[in-house]
Amino acid sequence: MNAPIFIGLMSGTSLDSIDAVAVRFEPTFELIASHSEPIPAAIHAATLALFNPGDNEIERVGRLDLALAELFATAVENLIKQHSLKRSNIAAIGSHGQTIRHRPNAHFTLQIGDPNLIAERTGITTVADFRRRDMAAGGQGAPLVPAFHSALFRQPEQNRILVNIGGMSNLTILDADLDKPVLGYDTGPGNVLMDSWIMQHQQKSYDRDGQWAATGTVIPQLLQTMLALPYFSETPPKSTGREQFNHHWIEQQVAALETQPLPKDVQATLLELTARSIADAINNHQLNNVQVFLCGGGSYNQQLKARLATLLAPNYLGTTTDLNLNPDWVEAAAFAWLAYRTLNHQSGNEPGVTGAAGYRPLGAIYWGE
């Protein structure tokens, strides 16, 4: 008899699509199927509008909560249909939801996409709201993926670091000494600032391969001012989001320059900011002979990868494809794993990462048919 299937859903800071995967965890990890569900322009715009404070927020959150849930359910149905999955073999859906606020210093985080509606539409048990239990235990509620990284990728023979470059960037330190705790935190921006800047100036959703950034020149003063942000020097546990790294922040930094720069030079500087903040964090750990593996959308940015390779030399730099998991699906698989852990009455967080008082089961269960 086949082991149960778990579905993972992830809609990240970049809002490029909803990632859906079907996986098994027994006897070993297996990626069975994957699907990317486009986010309609109206939902994309409504979500972006909620990232910053505004008018009539409660009404807008309520409506978007339902609209996103319908879209998440559609992603599941399309995944099942396209890959002829047997519904009775699916144990649960792990739905991250869409973060619209993450304020760990105020001890709250909010992800929307009503899991009641997902369970009702699909008939499949849905596990959601993973972050708040960790926060209730004194943690940051993020990042949560390092626990999955450890379960899937940690090896006693090799120091490894996993770097997820989505809207934000976060890293996971997997020491070859298995007695040492898993470490991880958000290093700062990933794609979010570059995406925002190119959208304003070229009406493109992202800078493919960093091609536009490659035509510009890094502005030293702007880079140093940005890197002076206290967040970068704070000690973990720490997590961040669009509340700190957003288009308004870019404009503030650019406006402070004595002369207004060329947009392409700002783009080059934003790419360098992402590369430097990731590399500085990794190098600060002073691990010898470390292998670094990228995942997330930023792992496809060739200019960013080239800068990271230079800044991290002589350490090996690759992607999770080297570890037999496509970079696109790592986070969605992580939330399938968190649902698997919850249904098996097991913890899902890493206290050494989030700062929680201890290991906790994460998420609430919304039963299917």
What does the pLDDT average to over 214-230? 98
Write down the domain spans for the chain.
5-141+328-366, 145-323
- Please give the average per-residue pLDDT across 22-29, as a whole number: 97
pLDDT at 12 over 80: no
The tens digit of pLDDT for each residue in 99-113 reads 999 999 999 999 999
CATH architecture of residue range(s) 5-141+328-366: 2-Layer Sandwich (3.30)
What average pLDDT score do residues 303-317 get?
A: 98
Please tell me the CATH code under which domain 145-323 is placed. Answer: 3.30.420.40
Let me know: does 237 contact 146? Beta carbons within 8 Å. no
Q: Which residue has the tokens 């940690």?
A: 154
Helix, strand, coil share (%) of the chain residues, nearest 5: 45, 20, 35
Fold match between domain 5-141+328-366 and domain 145-323 = yes
3-state secondary structure (DSSP) of residue 314: coil
Q: What is the pLDDT of residue 368?
A: 97
Q: How many helices (H) and strands (E) does the chain have?
A: 14, 13
Q: Where are the beta strands (DSSP E) in the chain?
A: 5-10, 17-24, 30-38, 90-95, 98-103, 108-112, 126-128, 159-165, 168-174, 183-189, 290-295, 316-319, 364-366
User: Kindly report the CA angle at 258 between 255 and 261, in degrees rounded to 5?
Assistant: 65
Query: Which residues are paired to 22 by β-bridges?
Result: 7, 33
Q: To which H or E segment does residue 202 belong?
A: helix 192-202
70-127 pLDDT per residue, tens: 999 999 999 999 999 999 999 999 999 999 999 999 999 999 999 999 999 999 999 9
Q: Within a 10 A sphere around the Cβ of 85, how many other Cβ atoms?
A: 17
State the pLDDT at residue 334.
98
Residue 57 clears pLDDT 80, i.e. is over it: yes
Res 16: pLDDT: 82
What is the reported pLDDT for 77? Answer: 98
pLDDT tens across 176-186, in order? 999 999 999 99
Q: Which of 45, 60, 127 is nearest to 92 (CA)?
A: 127
pLDDT of 1 strictly over 80:
no
